[in-house]
Amino acid sequence: MLANVFTKTTRDRWKGIAIGMATMAVLFLFGMSVYRDIDISVYTELPEALLSMMNIPKDADVGSLAYGAIYTSYGALTLAALVLVIGAGTIAGEERNGTLGLLLANPKSRTNVLLSKAGSMVLLTGLGALVLWGAGRITPVILDVNVSGIDVEALVFHIFVNALFYGFLAMAIGAWTGNRGLASGVTAGVMVLSFVAVGLLPLVESLENAAKAFPWYYFSGSEPLQNGISWGHLAVLVIGSVLFTVAAVIGFNRRDLRGQTSGVSIVDRLRATPMTQRVADQLAGSARVARIWTKTASEYQGLLFVTAALMFFVMGVLIGPMYNAIDNALLDLSDHFPEALLALFGGSDMSTPEGWYQVETFGMMAPIAVMVVTVIIGARALAGEEQHRTMGLLLANPVNRSTVLLQKAFAMVLYAFVVGFATFAGVAVGSLLGGLDMNIGNIAATSLLVTLVGLVFGALALTLSAATGRVPIATYGAVGVALVMLILNAFLPLNDNLTGYAKWSPFYYYLTSDPLTNGMHWGHGALLTGLVVALIASAVVLFQRRDLRQTR
Amino acid sequence: MTDQITIHTEGLTKHYGDVHALVDLDLAVHAGEVLGFLGPNGAGKTTTIRTIMDEIRPTAGRASILGMDTHDKSVEIRRYVGYVPDDLAMYPNLTGRDTLTYFANLRGGVDWSYVDELADRLDADLSKKVGDLSSGNRQKVGLIQAFMNRPDVLLMDEPSSGLDPLVQREFQTMMRDVAAEGRTVFLSSHALSEVQRVADRVGIIRNGHLIALEAVDSLRSKAIRRVDLYFDTHVDESVFEGVPGVREVTGENHHVVLSFDGQMETLLNVATGRYTLVDISTQEADLEEIFLAYYRDVEVTL
């Protein structure tokens, strides 16, 4: 282990983990205090299958509700996402920055460097878990909530091991390919898919065992909060992590280091082939560089493709037929399930096709999918050019700063609408395949609203990047605000005294009007649009008046 | 060189908090001129160029190009300006030709046969991705980008970094061609030999202050030279003290070494009047010595 590599990596990376987990701690305090003040007896009457899907235990009390709702889903996902970003950057990040060659010019082996960085990743994950554990122990004391019989340590330990699994997977892909984007993209895909699958598959009796094929099952399947640590399940994750580490060491040692280049895409290969050269030249060359927005759009086509495909096939088409496979009696809760409670899962009554789609597709996944695209473009399109020192050259052309910004914003808006349309098309096809007979206009309305709410946070990222020129501030700022707003909108309505404050969250204007059943709420749509326009306008003003950054 | 002023700064000042990166810069560059802008790292060269390009905004003062204010008319100005930024970075995913097409679409007025001619002169490969090029070859794409629409004003910040000597020579010819066509080159550099070869005038900047602005020829003529005098007998160095232009003198046996920036005739009269001068050698003045002399001698009050 190289102490200085270990220390430097830790120093570079601790802030993200600390901020993310501190946010979780605050949300946990908030969630638990809400649960403490409401009547939670309704939960005990819910069907078991549904409870397990929502990560809520049988015989739930205030404590287990709070841990289940905040830690088991949001907490575990957030920590795993932060760690996978670290894992992906371990080798591939330094390679992309062009600093890896310099680091390896020292008399230290590649294996040693890799393992030192892996060690730092483990330490950081541990620190994150420690924050969760501390908050999980202190909060009940502050709020005077009885948490006896709940195994917080086991849950946090599961969260820790689970996060590392994705960290090591991303590290292995990054070390093997040197491509940071690929590493984080694939790993995030695996994580989200397996999270969704583990929530969904147990609802269908014949598919119950299929969940075991997904790694997330070995995190939550044993219900560590009630049952304590499941060493067998954790062993699966640990063995996986060890295998990934071995793969990382082998892959990293056997290949050439990459320069600062981005690799060869499919279009590049087509361009090199005489037969396809002309068309590919159009695609990759002249068409791509025709305008600022076309070039911006072309840079994020991979991201768009993956996100839109996921929304169309998995969250759209697949969900429809699945509705029929599930015993609807399980989901018929309209009598004893207060709407406000379901709001936590973006939900309404799941026994109707609309309610089903709202919980599964539109509640969490659709806004996240749109936001992934808009926030990444919003944060990188502008500040990324400053970070990569190309902004000066771009602005040496006779174009306004506002033109540059608006063209980049246009690419973001365009892509948000593509994701929204893919969601719409997927749900429409899914409804058709499942014979659910949902109203097409209402699906379109909901898809439009999710596009707009996603754009609010993309525009926020754009504004932050216009104001600061820094990608991390724009990304983490927008993601942080979005996460807080998402959870506030879910929790505030649970308490009658606080429900009015939910109107301060943009998400309130997305599903509160129940567009999937009631159709478009133009007032809400106009409000979200106004917010997007205002944010982009402020981005223009902020970008016009400041000095460009000079990064080295 | 004509009387028409193409780049003009008046009291141009840029502070970053307490750091005075650029102080009261008054500068007029003329059409048909190559102005070399010299200074050590951190002197304010890049700050000057970035301010003129409206990348950063002056704390005080103003700058204009072709009579247009660089901030108010920044977009209009950029139709007439070619720019090579310091530590040039471009889009690694695009080929050289894609990169040039991108900028040509934004700029207009690009003659592609001229682009090919430039690529030919600089021996640049435009079919490869910029990310796959060596830094010198990448720099060539950046240079073509700056020259391709025949701008009236070229602002270049350390443009020849990474270029091999042959290409550097060609690039210098290109700069002279631009000046010969009545256009302007503002060349920031610390490659002294290059500035010496191509520049009509040289500005020297230090700690944000312009401390000299003179024609290369006149700067050279007042250069401090090292003069070695060899006599047939011992000559005491004190003989040369007080001779106009002698700055420093050391002697050893038959050999006297002078730092000298006066008229050679005066010196020779003293040297040959009473003694027999066997040999004389003077080291050719170059900008490097001038440059060092300025940095050693000129006191700058901040």
Query: Model-level pTM greater than 0.95?
Result: no
pLDDT in tens, B162-196: 899 999 999 999 999 999 999 999 999 877 778 88
Residue A364 or A268, more confident: A364
Q: What pLDDT band is residue B297 in, cutting at 50, 70 and 90?
A: low
State residue A169's pLDDT score: 97
Report DSSP letters for A201-243, one per residue.
Answer: GGGSGGGGGGGGGSTTHHHHTT-HHHH---HHHHHHHHHHHHH
Mean pLDDT of A306-321: 87
All residues at 6 or more sequence positions from A401 whose CB lies less than 8 Å from its CB, including other chains: A395, A540, A543, A544
Residues of chain A found within 8 Å of residue B141, distances taken between Cβ atoms: none
Residues of chain A found within 8 Å of residue B103, distances taken between Cβ atoms: 393, 397
Q: Chain B contact for A290, CB < 8 A?
A: yes
Mean pLDDT of A410-438: 94
Mean pLDDT of A193-197: 87
Q: Is the pLDDT of residue A498 over 90?
A: no
Q: Is the pLDDT of residue A423 over 60?
A: yes
Helices A110-143, A152-177: crossing angle, 10 deg rounding: 150
Mean pLDDT of A335-339: 49
Strands B5-16 and B60-65: antiparallel
How large a percentage of chain A has pLDDT more than 70?
Answer: 89
Q: Is the pLDDT of residue A337 over 60?
A: no
pLDDT in tens, B136-149: 999 999 999 999 99
Q: Is the pLDDT of residue A552 over 60?
A: no
State residue B222's pLDDT score: 63
State residue A522's pLDDT score: 95
Mean pLDDT of A116-120: 94
Residues B174 and B9: beta-carbon distance below 8 Å:
no
Mean pLDDT of A143-152: 86
Residues of chain A found within 8 Å of residue B102, distances taken between Cβ atoms: 289, 295
- C-alpha B267/C-alpha A237 separation (Å) is 88
Please report the residues numbered 39 through 68 in chain B whose beta carbons come closer than 8 angstroms to any beta carbon of chain A.
Answer: 46, 50, 53-57
> For an interface test with A, which of B57, B74, B91, B130 has the most A Cβ atoms less than 10 Å from its Cβ?
B91
Helices A231-254, A110-143: crossing angle, 10 deg rounding: 150
Adjacent-strand bridge partners of A542: none
How large a percentage of chain B has pLDDT more than 70?
Answer: 92
- C-alpha B153/C-alpha B178 separation (Å) is 9
3-state helix, strand, coil in chain A (%, to 5): 80, 0, 20
Q: Chain A contact for B19, CB < 8 A?
A: no
Q: Chain B contact for A58, CB < 8 A?
A: no
ipTM attached to this prediction: 0.74
Residues A170 and A192: beta-carbon distance below 8 Å:
no
Q: Please give the backbone phi and psi of residue B9, each rounded to the nearest 5 degrees, phi first.
A: -120, 145
State residue A267's pLDDT score: 66
State residue A369's pLDDT score: 93
**Torsion sign over Cα B70, B74, B78, B83:** positive
Query: Of the segments A345-354, A437-446, A491-500, which one has the largest average pLDDT value?
Result: A437-446
Contact across the interface for A395 and B54, Cβ inside 8 Å: yes
Q: Chain A contact for B205, CB < 8 A?
A: no
Residue A508 or A4, more confident: A508
Give the three-state DSSP class for B126: coil
Residue A58 or A364, more confident: A364
Q: How many residues does chain A have?
A: 552
Give the three-state DSSP class for B89: coil
Residues of chain A found within 8 Å of residue B145, distances taken between Cβ atoms: 393
All residues at 6 or more sequence positions from A301 whose CB lies less than 8 Å from its CB, including other chains: none
Q: Is the pLDDT of residue A358 over 80?
A: yes
Contact across the interface for B75 and A398, Cβ inside 8 Å: yes
pLDDT averaged over every residue in chain A: 86
Q: Chain A contact for B90, CB < 8 A?
A: yes
Report DSSP letters for A243-277, one per residue.
Answer: HHHHHHHHHHHHSPPP-S-----HHHHHHHSTTTH
Q: Chain A contact for B75, CB < 8 A?
A: yes
What is the distance, to the nearest Å, from the Cα of residue B202 to the centroid of all Cα atoms in its chain? 6
State residue A53's pLDDT score: 63
State residue B302's pLDDT score: 39
pLDDT in tens, A13-62: 888 899 889 888 988 888 888 888 777 666 666 666 666 666 666 667 77
Nearest in space to A286 (alpha carbons), one of A274, A271, A273: A271
State residue A342's pLDDT score: 54
